[in-house]
A and B are shown apart, each in its own frame.
Chain A
Amino acid sequence: MDFTIKFIFDIAAFTSVMVLIVLGLGVIASMMGIFNFAHGELVLLGAYTVYLSDEYGLGPWPGVIAAPFVVGLIGLVLERTIIRRFYKVPIIAMLGTYAVGLIIREIVRGLLGGHYKSIPEPIEGAFSVGGLEFSWWRSLIIVTTLLVIAGSYLLLSRTSIGLRVRGALENPMLARACGISTGTLYALTFAFGAALAGLAGALIVPLYQLSADIGIRFLVQAFLSVMLGGVGTFEGPVLGAAAVGIMASGLPWLVIPVLADPLVFVIALAIVRIRPQGFITVGRL
């Protein structure tokens, strides 16, 4: 029993990390049709914000709280200056965002001198329930992930902003004819996706080291998640990320770890082959 609870907690913690990272990517891919290859670097910038706040003696908390806003703002600027030129050419958008990501990544690498930096957990240690120890920070990540999923879902499906975003996605021409400024909406959506990436980076960096590559190590699995879940809905990528997260953390229990990594891809690609439309087919949002 103890073992099962601990096992579920470990898998839930890693799956939450995966979902957090995929959320922003999924929102941008689903709402705007842009596969944002700079997503990993937006995660990196979130992590870097925490590092800066810690480095300047403020401790990690101000950084964690500021990260979504800082990165959201950077996302807004990126969208207004660069991304908006790519809406008509999604393939070029991949290359363009990749280039943006590369520039951000290498600048941060230069600023860090290529070193890895340790970021302390804002809440250290563990609490025990029934003799089992649970890390505070991992628990906080699980809770925050659930809150963010619920919040984003409500925002997109239950508010008038969400309605407009969905309308602009469904039929941009008609939306514009109804007086909805699609340009502004796209900018806000991109900024929202970027803010989610920033939050993800800020939350996960205490678990890992801050290095310029913190974003790209999750990026390929994040894209796999979006593919697996299906583009065009909010739930799809979330479910996809959960599936990939569970596989990535669960498989090393069953097979040798070096095999587990490629196996995640084999299984995911097999599922995509059977359900090319993803888990969720109809764009309900």
Chain B
Amino acid sequence: MQMNRRGFLGGASALTAAGWVGTLAGGFVLRPTWAHAAGPIKMGIATDITGAIAPSGNANWQVAQFAVDDINKSGGILGQPIELYLEDTASDPKVAVGNVRKLIQERKVDVVLGGITSAMRQAIKDPIVNRGRTLYIYPQLYEGQECTKYLYNTGPSPAQQCDRLIPYLIKTLGKKKFAMPSANYVWPQLLNKYARKVIEANGGEVVFEEYYPLDQAEYSATISKIKDGKVDCVFNTVIPPGLQPFVKQLYESGFQKKGGVLSCVYYDENLLNYHPAQEMEGLVSCLDYFQAIDDPFSKTLQEGYAKKFPGTKYLFTAGSAATGMYRGVKFYEAAVKATGGKLGREEVAAAMDNAVLLNGPGGGAEMVPGHYHAKMNMYIAVCKNEGGKTRYEVIDKASMVDPREC
């Protein structure tokens, strides 16, 4: 087969237009439209633009642009604009380490935000924090126990996701027998460890805790255990692609019809679209933000985001780390303001420790000094099915929940 150059270029540009090829060969820079004598503040974003978790990574990148744009439009941080540098971590820790080094050694960024999976955080934290001597902000909800100096976590911890949710499941909904089907990796294992403690402390019982290969396609053995054990609450940490066959088989077994509750603490607005509406009805989730919450500032954020990225496939949601990314950028802004514009790592870290946000997605947040995690509002939401359309209904709000980490 012969391929001429014009045909190749034509094909390549068609793919670019389809949003498929990242223009990322050498990273990506978003410069502010104006300059300052002291030069810009350089912010590095290292996230998964391509690969398995590209939907979350792209949401993170868009939210970072949105937040930075907002800061630059209102005059930057104490007059200094922010310049954004993007490197693709490609859902692959091996690729990520090299690209993150580029941010630090070539771009000489003042702070790095990003990483979504725990494997990614573990891979890039050392090149950033230790060898790179740079501040690192990690935005995703995760399994906890990350207490590295100069590493700030802006997503919810297991305590924040479980402390309110599990008592709600047990005391308000009256569910006592829990099953914990889980994907076999670090987040479910550590989250389950914490959740089990809370379940038992509240008088519930864990019937079984079981781990599956990430792409398992058949769950009849699990469904049978759920039936035999008279489980009335499934605390799910199975993730895609193994997720949908599990949820479908659970639904087909009549679990929900018989009063069972499916609960899943990473379920945001994206995830509802991964299943038919009837399978999602009654699902209970607990996150730091839902689009349905009644908060004027959050609503303006959503409107601004929709205006900047009209019709985007990548939603501004909590489960994809986008809310943590927004908080991370704003925490950094608050910290640099507190240092009076000094960008040295020690000074900014000291200020980061006490940083407070009055507003954000889901409300304000504040770093807990010395603990590298943030207090934030947490919401419990239940999925409603209205004629084949799903939406969350927020039924509970807990203010400024303590992360209980470090």
Which residues from chain A sit less than 8 Å from chain B, CB to CB?
A: 3, 6-7, 10-11, 14, 17, 81-82, 106-107, 109-111, 113-118, 120-121, 124, 126, 133, 135, 207-209, 211, 213-214, 217-218, 248-249, 252-253, 256-258, 261
Q: Is the CB of B212 within 8 A of A258?
A: yes
Distance in angstroms from B318 CB to nearest chain A CB is 17
Q: Is the CB of A115 within 8 A of B270?
A: yes
User: Given the complex of chains A and B, what is the CA–CA distance between A218 and B216 in angstroms?
Assistant: 10
Q: Which residues of A contact B210 (CB under 8 A)?
A: 256-257
Interface residues on B, range: 35 or more
Indicate which residue in A114, A248, A258 contacts B218 across the interface (CB closer than 8 Å): A248
Q: Is the CB of A116 within 8 A of B245?
A: no
Distance in angstroms from B184 CB to nearest chain A CB is 5
Whether A208 contacts B241 in the complex (CB less than 8 A), given A82-B1, A115-B313, A257-B216, comes out as yes
Q: Which residues of B contact A113 (CB under 8 A)?
A: 19, 54-55, 58, 313-314
Q: How many A-B residue pairs have CB under 8 A?
A: 110
Q: Is the CB of B220 within 8 A of A7?
A: yes
User: Given the complex of chains A and B, what is the CA–CA distance between A106 and B90 in angstroms?
Assistant: 13
Indicate which residue in A82, A115, A258 contacts B211 across the interface (CB closer than 8 Å): A258
Check: B248 CB closer than 8 A to any chain A CB.
yes
What are 14 A-B interface contacts by the 8 Å CB criterion?
A: A6-B220, A114-B52, A115-B55, A115-B273, A120-B276, A121-B276, A126-B252, A133-B252, A208-B245, A209-B274, A214-B241, A257-B211, A257-B221, A261-B213
Q: Which residues of B contact A7 (CB under 8 A)?
A: 220, 224
Whether A118 contacts B274 in the complex (CB less than 8 A), given A252-B218, A258-B213, A261-B216, comes out as yes
User: Given the complex of chains A and B, what is the CA–CA distance between A106 and B54 in angstroms?
Assistant: 12
Q: Is the CB of A14 within 8 A of B217?
A: yes
Check: B229 CB closer than 8 A to any chain A CB.
no
Indicate which residue in A6, A110, A208, A218 contacts B19 across the interface (CB closer than 8 Å): A110
Q: Which residues of A contact B385 (CB under 8 A)?
A: none
Indicate which residue in A10, A211, A252 contacts B240 across the interface (CB closer than 8 Å): A211
Check: B275 CB closer than 8 A to any chain A CB.
yes
User: Given the complex of chains A and B, what is the CA–CA distance between A218 and B217 in angstroms?
Assistant: 9
Q: Which residues of B contact A211 (CB under 8 A)?
A: 240-241
Q: Which residues of B from 213 to 244 have beta carbons under 8 Å from A?
A: 213, 215-222, 224, 240-241, 243-244
Check: B20 CB closer than 8 A to any chain A CB.
yes
User: Given the complex of chains A and B, what is the CA–CA distance between A274 and B336 in angstroms?
Assistant: 69
Q: Is the CB of A14 within 8 A of B218?
A: yes
CB closest residue in chain A, given B184:
A258
Check: B18 CB closer than 8 A to any chain A CB.
yes
Q: Which residues of B contact A3 (CB under 8 A)?
A: 224
Please indicate which of the listed interface residues A107, A209, A213 has the most CB atoms of chain B within 10 Å of its own CB: A209
Check: B254 CB closer than 8 A to any chain A CB.
yes
User: Given the complex of chains A and B, what is the CA–CA distance between A252 and B224 in angstroms?
Assistant: 11
Q: Which residues of A contact B213 (CB under 8 A)?
A: 257-258, 261
CB closest residue in chain B, given A3:
B224
Q: Which residues of B contact A207 (CB under 8 A)?
A: 245, 248
User: Given the complex of chains A and B, what is the CA–CA distance between A120 and B313 in angstroms?
Assistant: 20
Given contact pairs A82-B1, A213-B52, enumerate 20 new A-B contacts (beta carbons under 8 Å): A6-B220, A109-B54, A113-B19, A113-B314, A114-B53, A114-B58, A116-B244, A118-B274, A124-B276, A135-B252, A207-B248, A209-B244, A213-B215, A217-B215, A218-B217, A248-B218, A252-B219, A257-B210, A257-B211, A257-B213
Distance in angstroms from B315 CB to nearest chain A CB is 10
CB closest residue in chain B, given A126:
B252
Q: Is the CB of B244 within 8 A of A208?
A: yes
Distance in angstroms from B321 CB to nearest chain A CB is 15
Q: Is the CB of B314 within 8 A of A11?
A: no
Contact with A along B235-269 (1 / 0, CB 8 A): 00000110111001000101000000000000000
User: Given the complex of chains A and B, what is the CA–CA distance between A11 and B249 in angstroms?
Assistant: 13
Q: Is the CB of B18 within 8 A of A10?
A: no
Q: Which residues of B contact A81 (CB under 8 A)?
A: 1
User: Given the complex of chains A and B, what is the CA–CA distance between A135 and B55 in angstroms?
Assistant: 32
Q: Is the CB of B18 within 8 A of A110?
A: yes
Q: Is the CB of A118 within 8 A of B275?
A: yes
Distance in angstroms from B228 CB to nearest chain A CB is 9
Q: Which residues of A contact B58 (CB under 8 A)?
A: 113-114
Q: Is the CB of B218 within 8 A of A107?
A: no
User: Given the complex of chains A and B, what is the CA–CA distance between A78 and B374 in angstroms?
Assistant: 54
Q: Which residues of B contact A261 (CB under 8 A)?
A: 213, 216
Q: Is the CB of B222 within 8 A of A257?
A: yes
User: Given the complex of chains A and B, what is the CA–CA distance between A82 and B3 in angstroms?
Assistant: 13
Check: B15 CB closer than 8 A to any chain A CB.
yes
Indicate which residue in A6, A10, A120, A217 contacts B217 across the interface (CB closer than 8 Å): A217
User: Given the complex of chains A and B, what is the CA–CA distance between A163 and B203 in angstroms?
Assistant: 70
CB closest residue in chain A, given B211:
A258
Q: Which residues of B contact A11 (CB under 8 A)?
A: 220
Q: Which residues of B contact A82 (CB under 8 A)?
A: 1
User: Given the complex of chains A and B, what is the CA–CA distance between A261 and B216 in angstroms?
Assistant: 8
Q: Which residues of B contact A118 (CB under 8 A)?
A: 244, 273-276
Q: Which residues of B contact A117 (CB under 8 A)?
A: 273-274
Q: Which residues of B contact A6 (CB under 8 A)?
A: 220
Q: Is the CB of A116 within 8 A of B217?
A: no
Please indicate which of the listed interface residues B1, B210, B218, B275 has the most CB atoms of chain A within 10 Å of its own CB: B218
Indicate which residue in B21, B211, B245 contacts A256 across the interface (CB closer than 8 Å): B211
Distance in angstroms from B268 CB to nearest chain A CB is 13
User: Given the complex of chains A and B, what is the CA–CA distance between A109 and B215 in angstroms?
Assistant: 17
Whether A213 contacts B241 in the complex (CB less than 8 A), given A107-B20, A126-B252, comes out as yes
